[in-house]
Amino acid sequence: MTDNDRTLVLLLAGGVGSRLNNLVQTRAKPAVPFGGIYRIIDFSLSNVMNSGLSQIGVLTQYKPLSLMRHLGGGEAWDFIGRRRGIKILPPRTGAHDSDWYKGTADAVRQNIDFIKAHPSKEIIILSGDHIYRMDLAELLEFHRRKRADVTIAMMVVPKEDIHQFGAGITNEEGRIIEWEEKPKEPRTDLASMGIYVFDTEYLLNILEENRQEVDFGMHLIPKAIERDNVFAYPFHDYWRDVGTIQSYWQANMDILDEHSGISPEGWGIRPNIESSVNTSADRPPAHFLRGSKVQGSMISAGCVIEGEVYNSVLSPGVRVARGATIRDSILFHDVNVGENGVIDLAILDKRVQVGKGAIVGCGEDRETINKKYPSHLYTGITLVGKDANIPAHTKIGRNCIIEPWTSMADFPASTIPSGETI
């Protein structure tokens, strides 16, 4: 048995991800489709697989069904075999709301029996909602070389963004000597990626000693820094927290930019194409009809393109009718855009039907933010929920939200001004 065989991975995949609005109305954030054929969680799972690690527990909570279907038995990522496995760990819910996970540390504490049932030297704790590639074996080697109790993967971010993260101040050895959780006035640009390595015995001890503390970044990490050896592992590759509509859209667009640093196929990111009838497993190749035009886009299996597609990501089964135009947009599985329809700077969830001549993302007004969710949509992106049906010749403005399952009868007028929600 190698040292890496004695490493247990806990993947936190229970967050609500509310800033993704109706993309997470029916699914957990890690289960949101990404890049045509992937889901967000595929990146963390593939990093574990590609790093040679074999034992993983996935901690779920919020709307876990689609995520559980996607994970299956772990076959897609080779987590099967006598010494390999993936285990889904839901909250230990009882009669009270207090049984649900209260934070990252509480989630791990509630699964101490799983940890003890899988003897390990170290535990790696990952988030299931980040887009990145990391060699976790190198992270482990750094942790061991430093003789650390805790190692935190960290990267430099613009100081204006540091308020979203835990921030660490290090000495010349890379040891973290001070910690600021989401500082309003930061003294450093070194941000936590929410990726931790703990010596297993050390983790069990601090969870037991601090039973009232529920979060790593807010509670346990600052205490560990005060008294123990906590080191920062420097990370310099592509990484994006896709927790907002804007960051999610940008990460998809980065796939289309060869200079962005993201390459899911080149990274060896593996989807689970067998997890649903809506994926690409049994679909024919994409079909481009006479007169169609596609530039700078990702077109998945089963798509039928008669119109024009520019700088967009299309999941399996999308149909773009004659005369229709898709621009700067993300279309999930089986979206159907009718003749002469226009989709401009928008995200359309699964099975959205866009009627003939309808426009989603109409006009130049990108400054009128969404009235109902001003902190969710403010850059011009319009969001259309799963199974929505947009009437023919309807014009929908910028920063609009069309809720899932909206029918044609739900539209109050043929023009929906920017910033409105239907």
Contacts of 242 (CB under 8 A, 6+ apart): 20, 32, 34, 40, 129, 130, 131, 248, 251
Contacts of 266 (CB under 8 A, 6+ apart): none
pLDDT less than 50: residues of the chain: 1, 94-97, 277
Phi first, then psi: give them for residue 248, nearest 5 degrees: -65, -45
**Is 283 found in the same domain as 223?**
no
**Is 302 found in the same domain as 224?**
no
* Domain annotation covers residue 262: no
Contacts of 393 (CB under 8 A, 6+ apart): 355, 356, 357, 358, 414
* Domain annotation covers residue 179: yes
**Is 167 found in the same domain as 236?**
yes
pLDDT of residue 1: 46
Provide the token pair at 58.
């996935």
Q: Which long-range contacts (CB under 8 A, 24 or more apart) does 281-284 make?
A: 283/316, 283/317
Contact, 333 vs 350, CB < 8 A?
A: yes
Partnered with residue 126 across adjacent β-strands are: 11
What CATH number did the domain enclosing 241 receive?
A: 3.90.550.10
pLDDT of residue 130: 94
pLDDT of residue 277: 45
Going from the C-alpha of 236 to that of each of 108, 239, 240, 362, the distances in angstroms are 28, 9, 12, 39
Provide the token pair at 355.
């009627």
Per the structure, the count of domains in the chain is 2
* Domain annotation covers residue 269: no
**Is 191 found in the same domain as 334?**
no
**Is 355 found in the same domain as 220?**
no
The 3-state DSSP class for residue 162 equals: helix
Domain assignment of residue 310, given as a range: 279-422
* Domain annotation covers residue 91: yes
CA dihedral sign of residues 376, 380, 381, 382: positive
Kindly write down the DSSP assignment for every residue of 10-27, as one continuous string. EEE-----GGGGGGGSSS
The 3-state DSSP class for residue 332 equals: coil
* Domain annotation covers residue 366: yes
**Is 325 found in the same domain as 234?**
no
Q: How many other CB atoms are found less than 10 A from the CB of residue 80?
A: 14
**Is 283 found in the same domain as 246?**
no
**Is 221 found in the same domain as 179?**
yes
Kindly write down the DSSP assignment for every residue of 362-404, as one continuous string. -SS---S--SS-TTT--SS-EEE-TT-EEPTT-EE-TT-EE-T
User: Of 195, 220, 255, which residue is a domain's last?
Assistant: 255
Contact, 200 vs 222, CB < 8 A?
A: no
Contact, 339 vs 392, CB < 8 A?
A: no
**Is 292 found in the same domain as 202?**
no
Kindly write down the DSSP assignment for every residue of 196-235, as one continuous string. EEEEHHHHHHHHHHTTT---IIIIIHHHHHHHS-EEEEE-
pLDDT of residue 102: 76
**Is 294 found in the same domain as 218?**
no
* Domain annotation covers residue 63: yes
**Is 320 found in the same domain as 197?**
no
* Domain annotation covers residue 401: yes
Contacts of 351 (CB under 8 A, 6+ apart): 333, 334, 335, 336, 386, 387
Contacts of 343 (CB under 8 A, 6+ apart): 312, 324, 325, 326, 327, 329, 331, 337, 354, 360, 361
* pLDDT tens digits, 191-221: 999 999 999 999 999 999 887 878 888 889 9
- Report DSSP state, residue 29: G
Distance of alpha carbon 409 from alpha carbon 422, whole angstroms: 11
* Domain annotation covers residue 184: yes
Contacts of 356 (CB under 8 A, 6+ apart): 321, 338, 339, 340, 341, 392, 393
* pLDDT tens digits, 63-108: 778 888 888 888 999 998 777 889 988 876 544 445 567 788 888 9
What CATH number did the domain enclosing 295 receive?
A: 2.160.10.10
pLDDT of residue 93: 55
Chain-centroid distance, C-alpha 414: 34
Going from the C-alpha of 380 to that of each of 246, 362, 386, the distances in angstroms are 9, 10, 20
Distance of alpha carbon 198 from alpha carbon 233, whole angstroms: 13
Distance of alpha carbon 50 from alpha carbon 267, whole angstroms: 9
**Is 296 found in the same domain as 154?**
no
Phi first, then psi: give them for residue 227, nearest 5 degrees: -130, -15
pLDDT of residue 388: 98
